[in-house]
Amino acid sequence: MKFSIVIAILAIFIITGCTNDSLVITDPSPEEIQRIMPAAKQVSQELLLALKTELQSAIATGGFEEAIAVCNLKAIPVSKIVEQSSSSVIRVKRTTSQYRNPFNAPDEIEKLALGYFQNLMVKNEPLPDNYIQKVSHADSAWYYFFKPIKMDILCLGCHGKPENIDPDVWNRIKELYPEDKATGYEEGDFRGLVSVIIRE
């Protein structure tokens, strides 16, 4: 059932040419937020905790080169495991404009959310803990829950400024991700979002 919903949503984006022309994006009602918030918050927190645990273990074992391997091989499977922990979650992933893995490239709704958070950063305004949008198409509706991610000092060994990244680590990044866009960060920078699609 969950897989068919994902396919249906992807089909909508393909049919509409990946634009929002035939999608209606609105703010959910307080009642809708109350209904979807528990599952959305839980899976977003679970994903971040699971990935951080994996990375800390990898760094302790083999340094940042090992951390890159973990991200390359385990990040998506970990996301899928967390995704399957809730029957109301259609999809959970991390997304950003400056992605390393193409899997994390934003869809059209996520691009709008990234713009919302980036605009707040430009204005030096505090980021909300989350941001929710209701997306409707024909007789279907679902919700996007977004949790902002800021750059942690733990991640700078692979995502910091290139001149500060160990040469062996840098070479490994380029080997695994020749189109990498995910370096140049400093601690506290806005990194991206945990994106959770929820159905009621």
By CB neighbour count within 10 A (0-12 exposed, 13-18 middle, 19+ buried), where does 81 fall?
middle
Q: Residue 113 to residues 89, 109, 123, 128: CA-CA distances in angstroms? A: 18, 7, 16, 12
Q: What sign does the CA torsion over 118, 84, 80, 55 have? A: positive
d(CA 36, CA 132): 10
Q: 65 CB contacts (<8 Å, ≥6 apart)?
A: 168, 169, 172
Which ranges of the chain have pLDDT less than 70?
Answer: 1-21
d(CA 135, CA 43): 20
| In contact, 39 and 86? CB cutoff 8 Å | yes
* pLDDT of amino acid 15: 36
* pLDDT of amino acid 7: 41
* pLDDT of amino acid 21: 58
- 160: which DSSP letter? S
Backbone angles phi, psi at 9, to 5 degrees: -65, -45
Q: What is the pTM of this model?
A: 0.86
